[in-house]
Amino acid sequence: MNTLIAEQLKENIALLQAIHEANHKIVELEFQHDRAQRVRWTAQEDALLRYSAGAFGSDLAKIQAVMVSKTKKQIYFRILYQNRQQAKAE
């Protein structure tokens, strides 16, 4: 009887370890996906900034206006990202 219980406990522990490892891999993959998404957004913002700065010429005040616009865009993307994360959690 005790050996049967011990075997079942070993099986349960092995199953729990497998579940834990699978969950860890899922979290790691989600993190990699989120990081890749942030890299894409940053690349898009930088391209927009370079294009806008080139279109305005080298006038410092206009480039600063583009930087403010980029900051607003970063805030927008951050809010969008957080909303997506909340939607995933629900």
Q: What is the pLDDT of residues 31-80, one digit of tens each?
A: 777 777 777 766 767 666 666 655 555 555 555 566 666 666 676 677 77
For residues 57 and 53, what is the distance between their CA atoms, to the nearest angstrom? 6
Residue 15 near residue 33, CB atoms below 8 Å: no
Predicted structure pTM score: 0.40
Q: SS3 of 10, please?
A: helix
Phi, psi of 5 (to 5 degrees): -65, -40
More confident residue, 76 or 19: 19
